[in-house]
Structure 1
Amino acid sequence: MVDGQADRRGLGPVLTVPNFFTFARLLGVPLFLYLFLATDATGWAVTVLAVGGLSDWVDGFLARRLNQTSRLGELLDPLADRLYILATLFALTYRDIVPWWFTIALIAREAVMVLVLVVLRILGHGPPPVHYVGKTATAVLLMGFPMMLLAHFSDAARPWAQPSGWALLWWGIVLYWLAAAFYVIQATVHVRAGRAAAAAGAP
Protein backbone atom coordinates (compact mmCIF):
# COMPACT_ATOMS: atom_id res chain seq x y z
CA MET A 1 0.00 0.00 0.00
CA VAL A 2 2.86 2.37 0.84
CA ASP A 3 4.49 1.74 -2.51
CA GLY A 4 1.23 2.23 -4.34
CA GLN A 5 0.62 5.56 -2.62
CA ALA A 6 4.14 6.64 -3.45
CA ASP A 7 3.63 5.68 -7.07
CA ARG A 8 0.51 7.83 -7.29
CA ARG A 9 2.50 10.76 -5.95
CA GLY A 10 5.19 10.13 -8.50
CA LEU A 11 7.88 9.15 -5.96
CA GLY A 12 8.18 5.56 -7.09
CA PRO A 13 8.75 2.59 -4.74
CA VAL A 14 9.83 3.47 -1.20
CA LEU A 15 10.86 0.16 0.40
CA THR A 16 13.84 -0.66 -1.81
CA VAL A 17 17.42 -1.69 -1.04
CA PRO A 18 18.94 1.57 -2.40
CA ASN A 19 16.51 3.68 -0.36
CA PHE A 20 17.41 1.66 2.74
CA PHE A 21 21.05 2.65 2.30
CA THR A 22 20.03 6.28 1.76
CA PHE A 23 17.94 6.27 4.96
CA ALA A 24 20.90 4.74 6.81
CA ARG A 25 23.17 7.53 5.51
CA LEU A 26 20.64 10.13 6.69
CA LEU A 27 20.67 8.60 10.19
CA GLY A 28 24.45 8.87 10.15
CA VAL A 29 24.26 12.69 10.16
CA PRO A 30 22.82 13.16 13.68
CA LEU A 31 24.93 10.22 14.89
CA PHE A 32 28.12 11.96 13.70
CA LEU A 33 27.11 15.26 15.32
CA TYR A 34 26.33 13.51 18.61
CA LEU A 35 29.60 11.55 18.68
CA PHE A 36 31.70 14.54 17.69
CA LEU A 37 30.11 17.36 19.69
CA ALA A 38 28.50 15.66 22.70
CA THR A 39 30.99 12.86 23.50
CA ASP A 40 34.72 12.18 23.43
CA ALA A 41 34.29 9.38 20.86
CA THR A 42 36.20 11.22 18.14
CA GLY A 43 37.42 8.00 16.59
CA TRP A 44 33.88 6.74 16.15
CA ALA A 45 32.82 10.12 14.76
CA VAL A 46 35.59 9.92 12.14
CA THR A 47 34.50 6.36 11.32
CA VAL A 48 30.84 7.37 10.84
CA LEU A 49 31.88 10.28 8.64
CA ALA A 50 34.24 8.13 6.57
CA VAL A 51 31.66 5.38 6.09
CA GLY A 52 29.03 7.96 5.09
CA GLY A 53 31.38 9.43 2.52
CA LEU A 54 32.62 6.14 1.12
CA SER A 55 29.08 4.75 0.86
CA ASP A 56 27.88 7.77 -1.13
CA TRP A 57 27.96 5.78 -4.36
CA VAL A 58 26.39 2.60 -2.95
CA ASP A 59 22.72 3.61 -3.21
CA GLY A 60 23.08 4.82 -6.80
CA PHE A 61 25.03 1.70 -7.79
CA LEU A 62 22.43 -0.59 -6.23
CA ALA A 63 19.56 1.33 -7.82
CA ARG A 64 21.04 0.74 -11.26
CA ARG A 65 22.22 -2.80 -10.54
CA LEU A 66 18.89 -3.96 -9.06
CA ASN A 67 16.78 -1.81 -11.38
CA GLN A 68 15.19 -0.12 -8.36
CA THR A 69 15.47 3.52 -9.33
CA SER A 70 12.79 5.84 -7.94
CA ARG A 71 12.02 9.52 -7.79
CA LEU A 72 12.19 9.34 -3.99
CA GLY A 73 15.72 7.99 -4.19
CA GLU A 74 16.72 10.69 -6.65
CA LEU A 75 15.48 13.32 -4.18
CA LEU A 76 16.85 11.76 -0.98
CA ASP A 77 20.33 11.00 -2.30
CA PRO A 78 21.40 14.64 -2.89
CA LEU A 79 19.62 15.61 0.34
CA ALA A 80 21.76 13.13 2.27
CA ASP A 81 24.88 14.48 0.53
CA ARG A 82 24.06 18.08 1.46
CA LEU A 83 23.20 17.21 5.05
CA TYR A 84 26.48 15.34 5.48
CA ILE A 85 28.47 18.25 4.04
CA LEU A 86 26.66 20.97 6.00
CA ALA A 87 26.66 19.03 9.28
CA THR A 88 30.35 18.21 8.96
CA LEU A 89 31.16 21.76 7.94
CA PHE A 90 29.32 23.14 10.96
CA ALA A 91 31.03 20.73 13.35
CA LEU A 92 34.54 21.29 11.97
CA THR A 93 34.13 25.07 11.88
CA TYR A 94 32.79 25.04 15.44
CA ARG A 95 35.92 23.16 16.55
CA ASP A 96 38.23 25.50 14.52
CA ILE A 97 39.38 22.65 12.29
CA VAL A 98 38.12 24.29 9.09
CA PRO A 99 38.44 28.09 8.68
CA TRP A 100 35.37 30.32 8.39
CA TRP A 101 36.17 31.45 4.83
CA PHE A 102 35.96 27.87 3.59
CA THR A 103 32.60 27.49 5.32
CA ILE A 104 31.30 30.69 3.72
CA ALA A 105 32.43 29.49 0.27
CA LEU A 106 30.47 26.25 0.62
CA ILE A 107 27.39 27.89 2.13
CA ALA A 108 27.37 30.47 -0.67
CA ARG A 109 27.33 27.63 -3.19
CA GLU A 110 24.38 26.04 -1.41
CA ALA A 111 22.59 29.41 -1.42
CA VAL A 112 23.00 29.58 -5.20
CA MET A 113 21.53 26.09 -5.55
CA VAL A 114 18.56 26.95 -3.31
CA LEU A 115 17.90 30.08 -5.37
CA VAL A 116 17.96 28.05 -8.60
CA LEU A 117 15.55 25.47 -7.16
CA VAL A 118 13.18 28.19 -5.90
CA VAL A 119 13.14 29.90 -9.30
CA LEU A 120 12.48 26.58 -11.04
CA ARG A 121 9.68 25.83 -8.58
CA ILE A 122 8.07 29.22 -9.17
CA LEU A 123 8.21 28.63 -12.91
CA GLY A 124 6.63 25.19 -12.52
CA HIS A 125 9.72 23.07 -13.09
CA GLY A 126 11.30 20.36 -10.98
CA PRO A 127 14.96 20.20 -9.93
CA PRO A 128 17.52 19.36 -12.62
CA PRO A 129 19.02 15.85 -12.56
CA VAL A 130 22.08 15.25 -10.41
CA HIS A 131 25.25 15.95 -12.39
CA TYR A 132 28.21 13.59 -12.12
CA VAL A 133 30.50 16.56 -11.38
CA GLY A 134 28.38 17.36 -8.33
CA LYS A 135 28.51 13.74 -7.17
CA THR A 136 32.28 13.70 -7.62
CA ALA A 137 32.64 16.96 -5.69
CA THR A 138 30.53 15.58 -2.85
CA ALA A 139 32.58 12.37 -2.68
CA VAL A 140 35.85 14.33 -2.65
CA LEU A 141 34.64 16.66 0.12
CA LEU A 142 33.41 13.74 2.19
CA MET A 143 36.87 12.18 1.90
CA GLY A 144 38.60 15.43 2.78
CA PHE A 145 36.65 16.09 6.00
CA PRO A 146 37.69 12.84 7.76
CA MET A 147 41.30 13.58 6.76
CA MET A 148 41.09 16.99 8.45
CA LEU A 149 39.60 15.39 11.56
CA LEU A 150 42.34 12.78 11.61
CA ALA A 151 45.04 15.44 11.22
CA HIS A 152 43.57 17.47 14.08
CA PHE A 153 43.34 14.66 16.61
CA SER A 154 46.32 12.47 15.65
CA ASP A 155 49.86 13.83 15.90
CA ALA A 156 51.20 10.75 14.12
CA ALA A 157 48.86 11.18 11.13
CA ARG A 158 49.07 14.98 10.88
CA PRO A 159 52.15 15.16 8.56
CA TRP A 160 50.32 13.30 5.78
CA ALA A 161 46.65 13.69 6.71
CA GLN A 162 46.59 17.50 6.81
CA PRO A 163 48.05 18.13 3.32
CA SER A 164 45.94 15.29 1.92
CA GLY A 165 42.84 16.72 3.56
CA TRP A 166 43.44 20.21 2.24
CA ALA A 167 44.17 18.89 -1.27
CA LEU A 168 40.86 17.03 -1.24
CA LEU A 169 38.93 20.01 0.14
CA TRP A 170 40.34 22.40 -2.45
CA TRP A 171 39.63 19.94 -5.26
CA GLY A 172 36.15 19.34 -3.88
CA ILE A 173 35.16 22.99 -3.53
CA VAL A 174 36.30 23.82 -7.08
CA LEU A 175 34.27 20.91 -8.45
CA TYR A 176 31.35 21.88 -6.20
CA TRP A 177 31.17 25.38 -7.71
CA LEU A 178 31.69 23.97 -11.20
CA ALA A 179 28.73 21.66 -10.65
CA ALA A 180 26.65 24.66 -9.53
CA ALA A 181 27.50 26.41 -12.80
CA PHE A 182 26.38 23.32 -14.71
CA TYR A 183 23.10 23.25 -12.74
CA VAL A 184 22.44 26.90 -13.57
CA ILE A 185 23.06 26.19 -17.27
CA GLN A 186 20.83 23.10 -17.15
CA ALA A 187 18.06 25.04 -15.43
CA THR A 188 18.29 27.89 -17.96
CA VAL A 189 18.13 25.49 -20.92
CA HIS A 190 15.21 23.62 -19.33
CA VAL A 191 13.20 26.79 -18.73
CA ARG A 192 13.85 28.09 -22.25
CA ALA A 193 12.87 24.75 -23.76
CA GLY A 194 9.65 24.78 -21.75
CA ARG A 195 8.81 28.29 -22.90
CA ALA A 196 9.57 27.39 -26.53
CA ALA A 197 7.34 24.32 -26.31
CA ALA A 198 4.55 26.38 -24.74
CA ALA A 199 4.88 29.04 -27.44
CA ALA A 200 4.82 26.40 -30.19
CA GLY A 201 1.65 24.85 -28.78
CA ALA A 202 -0.13 28.16 -28.32
CA PRO A 203 -2.99 28.83 -30.78
Structure 2
Amino acid sequence: MTVRVTLVASVMTAALRAARFDDDTPGEAELRQVRARAGVLAGLSGSGGFRRVYTGPEARCRATAEALGVHSVPAPELGDPDVGEWRGRTLAEIAAADPAGVAAWLTDPDAAPHGGEPLRSLLTRTGGWLASQAERGGRVLAVAGPAAVRAAVVSALDLPPDVFWRLDVPPLSRTDLTGRSGRWNWRCAAPL
Protein backbone atom coordinates (compact mmCIF):
# COMPACT_ATOMS: atom_id res chain seq x y z
CA MET A 1 0.00 0.00 0.00
CA THR A 2 1.33 3.43 -0.93
CA VAL A 3 0.96 6.58 1.14
CA ARG A 4 1.63 10.07 -0.15
CA VAL A 5 2.20 12.62 2.59
CA THR A 6 2.26 16.30 1.69
CA LEU A 7 3.66 18.43 4.52
CA VAL A 8 2.96 22.16 4.31
CA ALA A 9 5.09 24.34 6.58
CA SER A 10 3.12 26.85 8.60
CA VAL A 11 3.09 30.53 7.74
CA MET A 12 5.70 32.96 9.06
CA THR A 13 4.88 34.64 12.37
CA ALA A 14 6.55 37.27 14.52
CA ALA A 15 7.97 34.55 16.81
CA LEU A 16 9.53 32.63 13.91
CA ARG A 17 10.89 35.86 12.43
CA ALA A 18 12.56 36.70 15.75
CA ALA A 19 13.84 33.11 16.28
CA ARG A 20 11.83 33.08 19.51
CA PHE A 21 10.72 29.79 21.05
CA ASP A 22 7.07 30.63 21.20
CA ASP A 23 3.85 29.96 19.39
CA ASP A 24 1.85 32.86 18.12
CA THR A 25 -0.97 33.45 15.72
CA PRO A 26 -0.08 34.92 12.34
CA GLY A 27 -1.24 38.41 11.49
CA GLU A 28 -3.81 39.26 8.85
CA ALA A 29 -1.16 40.08 6.22
CA GLU A 30 0.42 36.64 6.64
CA LEU A 31 -2.98 34.93 6.49
CA ARG A 32 -3.78 36.75 3.23
CA GLN A 33 -0.63 35.18 1.78
CA VAL A 34 -1.90 31.76 2.79
CA ARG A 35 -5.41 32.33 1.40
CA ALA A 36 -3.89 33.33 -1.94
CA ARG A 37 -2.37 29.83 -2.17
CA ALA A 38 -5.42 27.87 -1.00
CA GLY A 39 -6.41 26.69 -4.48
CA VAL A 40 -3.04 25.00 -4.98
CA LEU A 41 -4.04 22.17 -2.64
CA ALA A 42 -6.74 20.91 -4.98
CA GLY A 43 -4.11 20.34 -7.66
CA LEU A 44 -1.78 18.61 -5.23
CA SER A 45 -4.32 16.10 -3.97
CA GLY A 46 -5.23 14.63 -7.35
CA SER A 47 -8.71 13.60 -8.35
CA GLY A 48 -9.37 11.67 -5.15
CA GLY A 49 -8.46 14.47 -2.76
CA PHE A 50 -6.67 14.04 0.53
CA ARG A 51 -8.03 11.13 2.57
CA ARG A 52 -6.78 12.61 5.83
CA VAL A 53 -5.79 16.14 6.83
CA TYR A 54 -3.85 16.92 10.01
CA THR A 55 -2.33 19.94 11.65
CA GLY A 56 0.31 20.43 14.30
CA PRO A 57 -1.15 21.65 17.60
CA GLU A 58 0.39 25.13 17.43
CA ALA A 59 -1.81 28.17 16.79
CA ARG A 60 0.16 29.10 13.65
CA CYS A 61 -0.40 25.60 12.19
CA ARG A 62 -4.13 25.64 12.90
CA ALA A 63 -4.45 29.17 11.47
CA THR A 64 -2.50 28.15 8.34
CA ALA A 65 -4.76 25.12 7.75
CA GLU A 66 -7.87 27.24 8.28
CA ALA A 67 -6.63 29.92 5.85
CA LEU A 68 -5.90 27.17 3.31
CA GLY A 69 -9.55 26.22 3.61
CA VAL A 70 -9.01 22.69 4.89
CA HIS A 71 -10.70 20.97 7.80
CA SER A 72 -7.99 19.26 9.82
CA VAL A 73 -7.57 17.01 12.82
CA PRO A 74 -4.93 18.02 15.40
CA ALA A 75 -1.96 15.65 15.58
CA PRO A 76 0.15 16.22 18.71
CA GLU A 77 2.89 14.09 17.13
CA LEU A 78 3.46 16.91 14.64
CA GLY A 79 4.06 19.52 17.34
CA ASP A 80 7.16 21.56 17.93
CA PRO A 81 9.63 20.14 20.43
CA ASP A 82 9.05 21.09 24.04
CA VAL A 83 11.83 23.59 24.79
CA GLY A 84 11.06 23.78 28.49
CA GLU A 85 12.48 26.86 30.17
CA TRP A 86 13.60 28.34 26.85
CA ARG A 87 9.98 29.01 25.87
CA GLY A 88 9.34 32.69 25.17
CA ARG A 89 13.02 33.54 24.73
CA THR A 90 14.98 34.15 21.54
CA LEU A 91 17.83 31.93 20.46
CA ALA A 92 20.20 34.91 20.73
CA GLU A 93 19.18 35.50 24.39
CA ILE A 94 19.67 31.84 25.21
CA ALA A 95 23.02 31.62 23.43
CA ALA A 96 24.27 34.64 25.39
CA ALA A 97 23.11 33.19 28.72
CA ASP A 98 23.93 29.51 28.13
CA PRO A 99 26.31 28.96 25.20
CA ALA A 100 27.25 25.47 26.43
CA GLY A 101 23.58 24.51 26.62
CA VAL A 102 22.91 25.69 23.07
CA ALA A 103 26.04 23.88 21.83
CA ALA A 104 24.90 20.64 23.50
CA TRP A 105 21.38 21.02 22.09
CA LEU A 106 22.78 21.44 18.56
CA THR A 107 25.26 18.55 18.74
CA ASP A 108 23.81 15.87 21.02
CA PRO A 109 20.42 14.44 19.96
CA ASP A 110 19.80 13.27 23.53
CA ALA A 111 20.55 16.62 25.18
CA ALA A 112 17.78 18.69 26.71
CA PRO A 113 19.53 21.60 28.45
CA HIS A 114 16.21 23.46 28.46
CA GLY A 115 14.55 20.73 30.53
CA GLY A 116 12.20 19.83 27.68
CA GLU A 117 12.28 17.34 24.84
CA PRO A 118 15.52 16.16 23.20
CA LEU A 119 15.82 16.00 19.43
CA ARG A 120 15.79 12.20 19.39
CA SER A 121 12.36 12.23 21.04
CA LEU A 122 11.02 14.62 18.38
CA LEU A 123 12.37 12.34 15.64
CA THR A 124 10.84 9.27 17.27
CA ARG A 125 7.35 10.73 17.68
CA THR A 126 7.29 12.24 14.19
CA GLY A 127 8.59 8.98 12.73
CA GLY A 128 5.86 7.09 14.61
CA TRP A 129 3.23 9.36 13.08
CA LEU A 130 4.63 8.71 9.59
CA ALA A 131 4.61 4.95 10.19
CA SER A 132 0.95 5.13 11.26
CA GLN A 133 0.09 6.94 8.03
CA ALA A 134 1.97 4.37 5.95
CA GLU A 135 -0.16 1.61 7.47
CA ARG A 136 -3.32 3.37 6.27
CA GLY A 137 -2.14 4.40 2.79
CA GLY A 138 -3.74 7.07 0.59
CA ARG A 139 -3.06 10.78 0.29
CA VAL A 140 -2.40 12.75 3.45
CA LEU A 141 -1.99 16.48 4.04
CA ALA A 142 -0.34 17.80 7.19
CA VAL A 143 0.22 21.46 8.11
CA ALA A 144 3.07 21.57 10.60
CA GLY A 145 5.87 23.75 11.89
CA PRO A 146 9.31 23.64 10.26
CA ALA A 147 10.75 21.45 13.05
CA ALA A 148 8.14 18.74 12.47
CA VAL A 149 8.70 18.85 8.71
CA ARG A 150 12.46 18.49 9.16
CA ALA A 151 11.93 15.67 11.66
CA ALA A 152 9.64 13.88 9.18
CA VAL A 153 12.29 13.99 6.45
CA VAL A 154 15.06 12.81 8.79
CA SER A 155 12.88 10.00 10.14
CA ALA A 156 11.53 8.88 6.77
CA LEU A 157 14.96 8.65 5.18
CA ASP A 158 16.57 7.20 8.33
CA LEU A 159 19.16 9.97 8.32
CA PRO A 160 21.53 10.69 11.21
CA PRO A 161 19.92 13.06 13.75
CA ASP A 162 22.44 15.85 13.11
CA VAL A 163 21.05 16.26 9.57
CA PHE A 164 17.96 17.80 11.21
CA TRP A 165 19.93 21.01 11.83
CA ARG A 166 21.04 21.20 8.20
CA LEU A 167 17.59 21.24 6.59
CA ASP A 168 15.85 24.52 5.84
CA VAL A 169 12.07 24.51 5.63
CA PRO A 170 10.73 27.88 4.50
CA PRO A 171 7.27 29.01 5.59
CA LEU A 172 4.50 27.88 3.25
CA SER A 173 6.76 25.39 1.50
CA ARG A 174 5.67 21.91 0.53
CA THR A 175 7.53 18.68 1.27
CA ASP A 176 6.32 15.43 -0.25
CA LEU A 177 7.06 11.98 1.14
CA THR A 178 5.93 8.77 -0.54
CA GLY A 179 6.04 5.55 1.41
CA ARG A 180 5.62 1.95 0.33
CA SER A 181 6.78 -1.34 1.83
CA GLY A 182 8.71 0.35 4.64
CA ARG A 183 10.64 2.62 2.28
CA TRP A 184 10.19 6.36 1.87
CA ASN A 185 11.08 8.71 -0.96
CA TRP A 186 11.36 12.48 -0.56
CA ARG A 187 10.53 15.16 -3.09
CA CYS A 188 12.50 18.18 -1.89
CA ALA A 189 10.64 21.21 -0.53
CA ALA A 190 8.90 23.31 -3.14
CA PRO A 191 6.95 26.54 -2.87
CA LEU A 192 3.30 26.04 -2.08
TM-score by length of 2: 0.29
| Greater fraction helix | 1
| Greater fraction strand | 2
TM-score by length of 1: 0.28
For the pair shown, which has the larger CA radius of gyration, 1 or 2? 1
